């Protein structure tokens, strides 16, 4: 009996602590393969809890390791303490600054239609409240969306938008159907961005257009201070792309890159303006000149890429 009790004690007290040590050791041992280029050579970029940031030595992808569990992400995207307050701001911005938002959407659409005139159908992956889809519908496009958050996708459906609640992998849409697939600030949230892009490629018709916008890890603000960069954010932003590795992953997932450029982000606050004002003490005219130069050098906050689905 004594022996049995000792064994039970070991199972209940010793093993969990042993597993905890193994888990810690595994996470200290470094990250796995790079999601873009499959390289195993990543070095510690920024050490922070609960996960460290690593930078791939081959392609420069910056990523968290270990990644959060699906359960952590489910809680994050559905709780009032997590994702919802921040995304609610985008709805407020849309309502109060509709003209600026519409100008932003119009710019994206102009670029897409230049590459693929006559496009009719749009699928927005990670559509949030469906604000881009509302704009597209107003312009006469046929619109569909995919959104992980139950609350925001429900709001989109109240606007009579056809939005599926769930992941891109669960969405019941036809392959090779859509003329245009868009994804605004979504890819960096995915546990496996390469798989996400492959799925987007399958939804896009051959010759169709993909437009992806992500935070720019190569931006002036990110390079100035990644630790205090507002888009360095756990557990929602798990990967940080630069023009180089975004091109690599698009080529691997069936796309031909047509255009890649940077611009100010999608929030009302231009982070670059704040940093430039603080460190260089520029007047408004000088600051605008510097911002223009930053965007030309692909150093803006947001990275946008247009790509064509290869035939």
C-alpha–C-alpha distance, residues 188 and 197, integer Å: 11
Report the residue from 58, 75, 192, 256 that binds Zn ion according to the rule CB under 5 A.
58
Report the residue from 51, 52, 61, 306 that binds Zn ion according to the rule CB under 5 A.
61
Query: Taking CB under 5 A as the rule, does residue 249 contact Zn ion?
Result: no
Closest distance of CB 42 from Zn ion, Å: 7
Closest distance of CB 194 from Zn ion, Å: 11
Site string for Zn ion, 6-45 (x = CB under 5 A): ----------------------------x-xx-x------
Report the residue from 51, 52, 56, 168 that binds Zn ion according to the rule CB under 5 A.
56
Query: Taking CB under 5 A as the rule, does residue 57 contact Zn ion?
Result: no
- Pick between residue 61 and residue 146 the one whose CB is nearest to Zn ion: 61
Query: Taking CB under 5 A as the rule, does residue 171 contact Zn ion?
Result: no
Query: Cβ atoms within 10 A of the Cβ of 54, count?
Result: 22
Closest distance of CB 37 from Zn ion, Å: 3
Query: Taking CB under 5 A as the rule, does residue 142 contact Zn ion?
Result: no
- Pick between residue 54 and residue 229 the one whose CB is nearest to Zn ion: 54
Q: How many residues bind Zn ion (CB under 5 A)?
A: 8
275: which DSSP letter? H
What is the per-residue burial (b if ≥16 Cβ within 10 Å, else e) of 193-228?
Answer: bbebbbbbbbbbbeebbbbbbbbbbbbbbbeeebee
Q: Which residues contact 64 (CB under 8 A, 6 or more apart)?
A: 51, 52, 53, 54, 234, 235, 238, 239
Closest distance of CB 33 from Zn ion, Å: 8
- Pick between residue 36 and residue 186 the one whose CB is nearest to Zn ion: 36
C-alpha–C-alpha distance, residues 126 and 196, integer Å: 11
- Pick between residue 116 and residue 191 the one whose CB is nearest to Zn ion: 191
Q: For the chain, report the end-to-end CA distance as a whole number of angstroms.
A: 71
C-alpha–C-alpha distance, residues 244 and 218, integer Å: 9
Query: Taking CB under 5 A as the rule, does residue 266 contact Zn ion?
Result: no
Query: Taking CB under 5 A as the rule, does residue 192 contact Zn ion?
Result: no
- Pick between residue 61 and residue 161 the one whose CB is nearest to Zn ion: 61
- Pick between residue 61 and residue 214 the one whose CB is nearest to Zn ion: 61
66: which DSSP letter? S
Q: Which residues contact 50 (CB under 8 A, 6 or more apart)?
A: 234
DSSP β-ladder status, 121-125 and 42-46 = unpaired
> Six-digit token pair at 134?
């509302």
Closest distance of CB 243 from Zn ion, Å: 14
- Pick between residue 34 and residue 131 the one whose CB is nearest to Zn ion: 34
Query: Taking CB under 5 A as the rule, does residue 59 contact Zn ion?
Result: yes
**Dihedral sign (CA 138, 176, 242, 235):** positive
185: which DSSP letter? S
Binding stretches for Zn ion (CB under 5 A):
34, 36-37, 39, 56, 58-59, 61
């Amino acid at each position: 009996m004594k022996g049995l009790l000792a064994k039970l004690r070991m199972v209940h007290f010793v093993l969990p602590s042993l597993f905890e040590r193994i888990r810690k050791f595994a996470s200290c041992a470094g990250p796995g393969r790079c999601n873009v280029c499959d390289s195993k050579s990543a070095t510690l970029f920024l050490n922070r809890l609960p996960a460290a940031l690593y930078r791939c030595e081959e392609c420069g992808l910056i990523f968290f390791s270990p990644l959060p569990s699906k359960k952590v992400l489910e809680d994050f995207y559905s709780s009032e303490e997590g994702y919802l307050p921040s995304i609610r701001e985008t709805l407020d911005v849309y309502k109060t600054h509709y003209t600026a938002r519409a100008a932003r959407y119009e710019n994206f659409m102009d670029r897409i239609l230049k590459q693929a005139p006559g496009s009719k159908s749009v699928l927005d992956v990670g559509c949030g409240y469906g604000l881009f889809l509302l704009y597209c519908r107003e312009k006469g496009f046929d619109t569909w969306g995919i959104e992980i958050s139950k609350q925001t996708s429900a709001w989109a459906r109240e606007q009579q938008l056809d939005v599926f609640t769930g992941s891109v992998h669960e969405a019941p849409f036809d392959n090779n159907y859509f003329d245009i697939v868009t994804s605004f600030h979504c890819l960096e949230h995915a546990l496996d961005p390469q798989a996400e892009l492959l799925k987007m490629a399958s939804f896009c018709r051959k010759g169709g257009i993909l437009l992806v916008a992500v935070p720019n890890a190569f931006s002036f603000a990110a390079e100035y201070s990644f630790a205090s960069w507002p888009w360095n954010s756990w557990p929602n932003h798990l990967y940080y792309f630069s023009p180089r590795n975004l091109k690599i992953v698009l080529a691997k997932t069936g796309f031909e890159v047509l255009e890649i450029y940077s611009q100010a982000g999608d929030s009302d606050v231009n982070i670059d303006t704040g940093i430039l004002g603080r460190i260089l003490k520029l007047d408004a005219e000088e600051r605008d000149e510097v911002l223009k130069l930053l965007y030309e050098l692909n150093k803006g906050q947001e990275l946008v890429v247009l790509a064509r689905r290869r035939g």
